[in-house]
């Protein structure tokens, strides 16, 4: 009945979503809008691989949530149809050492993991290059979030091994795409001279999406992810505004999903602006959550300690950190530098009476928000 008061309410087995996976972080859209020039540059650099030659190297850079990873995934999907081109994408947030990266490359080539112990890097490297030569394949490796390799001091050795592979094993053909979201990091400048001399990448920049582009992209997700009529133009306008303010498309995509879940909690068939506003309290921290989930156990401990000692001097924070982990000051200082580069903390030097200069440590986010996401 049209006037049934329950007509607009969801029953227990209904959903506003047509396909909720559309809003997940690993979803690769069928249509990839407003990145045509970047895709053309990537295709240009990798075209030699299709002909059996070593491709040009690439540096893809831009702020978070600007389509860099999606572009690489789309390109690798295209290359997968070429039987003589092998592609491996490595998430450097997860694999941030040279050995772990080559383990992922080994797995991509042989389609099983190498032994967890008892195999040296030299042997791992040799098996990879020998297999490439034996199968006459070109390998393209994407080091996604390569900035994490710099934070761990592993970037130069990793790139040197990849770029010099043809010298170690004649006939090995490897191309590298480095993907960086840290605009304060000068990738070339931070590399060793031995790597700079051979790493001359094509530079492909991914700018922040403007509001019109955000509307186009989110509208396509809405069409695929929600049932008709769930998201009104007024709601889309508000999601677009909040996404543009953040500069990160992932905020908008996460916002749509959480707003949809809020509507379902109200048993509503449509998403309201209030659902969006409530969801934004969590979605605005999507970049923070992404960074925190990639930290090691000891790095998480230090973030907790800083949250509990926000604004205090580095020495006082170290005492509390050492008590929990028993780690020395050198490792503590390395983690501080990494958290600062990740944009999780501010480590600023201040003058302390009678003690010279000391670093003051504070979170760049509300401590409660950080602690809540560490516990997610």
Which tens digit of pLDDT belongs to each residue from 253-294?
Answer: 999 999 999 999 999 999 999 999 999 999 999 988 988 988
| Residue 302 CA neighbour count, 13 Å, CB half | 28
Q: Please spell the DSSP secondary structure of 306-359, one letter per residue.
A: HHHTTT-BHHHHHHHHHHHH---HHHHHHHHHHHHHTTSEEEEEEEETTTEEEE
Tell whether 252 and 325 lie within a shared domain.
no
Asked if residue 94 belongs to a domain, the reply is yes
Asked if residue 2 belongs to a domain, the reply is no
Tell whether 249 and 332 lie within a shared domain.
no
Does 4 score more than 90 pLDDT?
A: no
Average pLDDT, the chain: 92
Choose among 322, 323, 255: nearest CA to 287. 255
CA separation for the pair 89, 91 (Å, rounded): 7
CA separation for the pair 244, 214 (Å, rounded): 8
Tell whether 146 and 81 lie within a shared domain.
yes
Tell whether 276 and 336 lie within a shared domain.
no
Q: What is the structure's pLDDT at 354?
A: 54
Which tens digit of pLDDT belongs to each residue from 170-225?
Answer: 999 999 999 999 988 999 999 999 999 999 999 999 999 999 999 999 999 999 99
Share of the chain above pLDDT 90, in %: 79
Tell whether 79 and 224 lie within a shared domain.
no
Burial class (CB in 10 A: 0-12, 13-18, 19+), 194: middle
Q: What is the structure's pLDDT at 240?
A: 98
Question: How many domains is the chain built from?
Answer: 3
Q: Residue 128's pLDDT band (boundaries 50, 70, 90)?
A: very high
The residue from 162, 189, 205 where one domain ends is 205
Q: Residue 5's pLDDT band (boundaries 50, 70, 90)?
A: very low
Tell whether 179 and 51 lie within a shared domain.
yes
Q: What is the structure's pLDDT at 351?
A: 63
Beta strands in the chain (DSSP E): 58-61, 85-91, 138-144, 173-180, 202-205, 345-352, 356-363
Which tens digit of pLDDT belongs to each residue from 20-56?
Answer: 999 998 899 999 999 999 999 999 999 999 999 999 9
190: domain range?
36-205
Does 376 score more than 90 pLDDT?
A: no
Which tens digit of pLDDT belongs to each residue from 143-171?
Answer: 999 999 999 999 999 999 999 999 888 99
Tell whether 214 and 105 lie within a shared domain.
no
For 122-136, b/e burial (b = at least 16 CB within 10 A) is eebbebbbebbeeee
Q: At what angle do helices 121-135 and 98-110 cross, to 10 degrees?
A: 30
Q: What is the structure's pLDDT at 12?
A: 62
CB count in 10 Å sphere of residue 249: 24
Does 2 score more than 60 pLDDT?
A: no
Decide: 173 and 132 in contact? Cβ < 8 Å: yes
User: Residues for the chain: how many in total?
Assistant: 376
Asked if residue 4 belongs to a domain, the reply is no
CA separation for the pair 145, 62 (Å, rounded): 11
Choose among 207, 204, 220: nearest CA to 33. 220
Q: Residue 353's pLDDT band (boundaries 50, 70, 90)?
A: low
Tell whether 189 and 246 lie within a shared domain.
no
Q: Residue 1's pLDDT band (boundaries 50, 70, 90)?
A: very low
CB count in 10 Å sphere of residue 359: 17
Asked if residue 117 belongs to a domain, the reply is yes
CA separation for the pair 187, 198 (Å, rounded): 14
Antiparallel, parallel or unpaired: β 58-61 and 85-91: unpaired
Decide: 245 and 102 in contact? Cβ < 8 Å: no
Tell whether 167 and 258 lie within a shared domain.
no
Q: Residue 3's pLDDT band (boundaries 50, 70, 90)?
A: very low
Which tens digit of pLDDT belongs to each residue from 236-252?
Answer: 999 999 999 999 999 99
CATH code for the domain in which residue 267 is found: 1.10.8.60
CATH code for the domain in which residue 147 is found: 3.40.50.300
Q: Residue 348's pLDDT band (boundaries 50, 70, 90)?
A: confident
The highest-confidence range among 71-75, 306-310, 369-373, by mean pLDDT, is 71-75
CA separation for the pair 13, 34 (Å, rounded): 37
Burial class (CB in 10 A: 0-12, 13-18, 19+), 119: middle
The residue from 144, 171, 205 where one domain ends is 205
Q: What is the structure's pLDDT at 6?
A: 44
């Amino acid at each position: 009945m049209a006037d049934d008061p329950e007509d607009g309410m969801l029953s227990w087995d209904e959903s506003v979503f047509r396909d909720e996976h559309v809003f997940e972080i690993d979803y690769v859209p069928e249509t990839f809008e407003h990145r045509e020039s970047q895709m053309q540059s990537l295709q240009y650099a990798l075209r030699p691989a299709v002909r059996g030659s070593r491709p040009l190297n690439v540096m893809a850079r831009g702020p978070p949530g600007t389509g860099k990873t999606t572009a690489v995934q789309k390109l690798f999907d295209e290359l997968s149809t070429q039987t003589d081109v092998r592609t491996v994408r490595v998430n450097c947030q997860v694999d941030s050492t040279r050995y772990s990266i080559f383990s992922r490359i080994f797995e991509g080539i042989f389609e099983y993991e190498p032994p967890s112990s008892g195999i040296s890097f030299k042997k791992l490297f040799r098996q990879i290059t020998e297999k490439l030569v034996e199968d006459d394949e070109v390998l393209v490796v994407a080091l996604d979030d390569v900035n994490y390799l710099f934070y761990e001091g592993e970037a130069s050795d990793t790139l040197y091994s990849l770029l010099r592979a043809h010298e170690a094993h004649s006939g090995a053909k490897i191309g590298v795409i480095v993907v960086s979201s840290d605009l304060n990091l000068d990738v070339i400048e931070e590399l060793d001279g031995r790597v700079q001399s051979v790493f001359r990448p094509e530079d492909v920049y991914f700018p922040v999406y403007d509001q019109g582009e955000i509307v186009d992209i989110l509208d396509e997700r809405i069409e695929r992810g929600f049932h008709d009529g769930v998201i009104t133009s007024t709601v889309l306008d508000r999601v677009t505004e909040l996404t543009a303010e953040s500069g990160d498309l992932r905020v908008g995509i996460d916002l749509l999903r959480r707003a949809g879940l809020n509507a379902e909690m109200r048993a509503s068939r449509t998403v309201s602006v209030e659902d969006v506003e409530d969801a934004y309290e969590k979605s605005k921290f999507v970049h923070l959550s992404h960074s925190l989930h990639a930290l090691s156990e000891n790095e998480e401990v230090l973030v907790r300690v800083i949250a509990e000692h926000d604004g205090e001097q580095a020495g006082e924070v170290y005492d509390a950190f050492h008590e929990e982990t028993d780690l020395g000051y050198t490792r503590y200082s390395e983690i501080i530098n990494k958290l600062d580069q990740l944009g999780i903390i501010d480590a600023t030097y201040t003058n302390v009476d009678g003690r010279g200069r000391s670093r003051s440590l504070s979170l760049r986010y509300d401590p409660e928000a950080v602690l809540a996401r560490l516990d997610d």
